[in-house]
Amino acid sequence: MSSTVEQVIQSPDKDAVGGTATYCVGCGSCAYLDPAFNIAKSADGCYQASIQGSIANEDAVNSACPFASSINEDVLGAELFSEQADIHHDQYLGYWLNAYVGYTSADGWRSRGSSGGMVSWLASKMLEDGLVDAVIHVKDGPDPEHMYTYQVSHNVDELKTGAKSKYYPVEMSEVLSYVHEHDGKYLFIGIPCFVKAVRLLCRQDEVLNKRIRYCIGLVCGHLKSDFFAKSEAWESGVPLDNIARVDFRHKTPGSPASDYAVEVRLTDGEKPVIKRTAELSTTNWGLGYFKYNACDYCDDVLAETADVTFGDAWIPKYVNDGEGCNVIVVRNQEVQNLFDRHRSELVLHDSDSAEVYQSQAGGFRHRRQGLAYRLYVHEQRGEWTPTKRVKPSLDGVSDRRQKTYAMRTVLKNESFAAFREAVKANDFNEFKKHMKPIEHSYRRVSTSPKKRIIRACKRIFKRVLPAGAVSRIKNLMGGGRS
């Protein structure tokens, strides 16, 4: 059943922040199509759509919204990829030709990137091989309130300035308007819901369909409010009014891939501040601090509508490689052909759906089983939610898991409230004071006593020992689990 954009942006999720947050991810597809829509940051640092006038074509806008359209990822994936020879289909990967884990050894892309450097490498090869003329991706923005924005790069030198993951809110209405006004062949890079929105737009917009030739998808845990960047910088010792930009994935030599740092650049021009994420309060992805509400109603982890998807290889046998490795899912034969042409620049290990799933197992549980639980709760209360592939259900959801998912919603909501309190008091410790007992309650619900003890010991070792020391100890003792 189809939903409408009005429902997406005007139906408050009563379990969300103050009972007012909606199901809008702020992608900007509606604003690109119709000037009646405005995309702006909310008080909680999330881009959200609002209606400022009469909608010219409701059907067009409804069909392009990733949370309103009745055309889901399975349908789009079938349209895009199902006719290819040797294609597979999986409930988690969607359609796929080949899966790999690896990295690029060429031109320093790996050292400049967040993990294996594969996203920027592939974009550069598409430019060099003439498959595209330009790349639509997220780059440094104009000011501290817009640290990162969608922009267009026309050559490899411009592309290099957009390497690395940005855990920061963005929208794409302006850059899509640019594409509509400037002829050429484009590559789009984005998280799953943004790629889906682009695919939906291309179904109805002949200009975009002709110009956006390929999409690279980024594995997504969830989209962050700009409170996330501000919190990392602030806790690292930088006052809020001196934060210029945050590099979320600063690699630390000799450390495993998971033990990275943030680098905060300052508006006063002083030396950047570097802090290990293990020493910060808001960087545990599983806690969902400052998460967009819409992300709890998305069931696409691996950007199933993208021609190829890249993510971090959070797999035991690769995670100790501090330079980083990518997990890769190829869906388009043309992308596979490019990999084959330039194989000498790649170090790739064949993978499969089980290993790819394992690299994002926690995300899949939250987006599939957890989503079924959340939809069930809303259904029982007679509340509207977006129509998803996952159906409302408690089947297989234990009492502990139900409590875990419920507490994650509390953590998400309270993180926003706690940050506002800290800003008001001009003291980041107020955030920690607010969140610590809630986080403690969550851990009591979500983990067994044995696991809590083990995790506490790991956290102590990770905070006390130098970066990379834990990994070296594991190696001396036989490598740990694999």
The mean pLDDT value for 106-116 works out to 78
Q: What is the C-alpha separation between 460 and 477, in angstroms, rounded?
A: 19
What are the pLDDT digits (tens) for 186-235? 999 999 999 999 999 999 999 999 999 999 999 999 999 999 999 999 99
Residue 479 pLDDT class (50, 70, 90 cuts) = very low
The pair phi, psi for residue 324, each rounded to 5°, is 95, 145
pTM of the model as a whole: 0.91
- The chain-wide mean pLDDT, for the chain, equals 91
Strand order in the sheet with 273-276: 243-250, 261-266, 273-276
- Residues 6+ positions from 473 with CB-CB distance below 8 Å: none
**Helix residue ranges per DSSP H, 103-153:** 109-112, 118-128
Instruction: Tell me the percentage of the chain whose pLDDT exceeds 90.
Output: 78
Which residue bears the tokens 């410790």? 429
Q: What is the pLDDT of residues 270-309, one digit of tens each?
A: 999 999 999 999 999 999 999 999 999 999 999 999 999 9
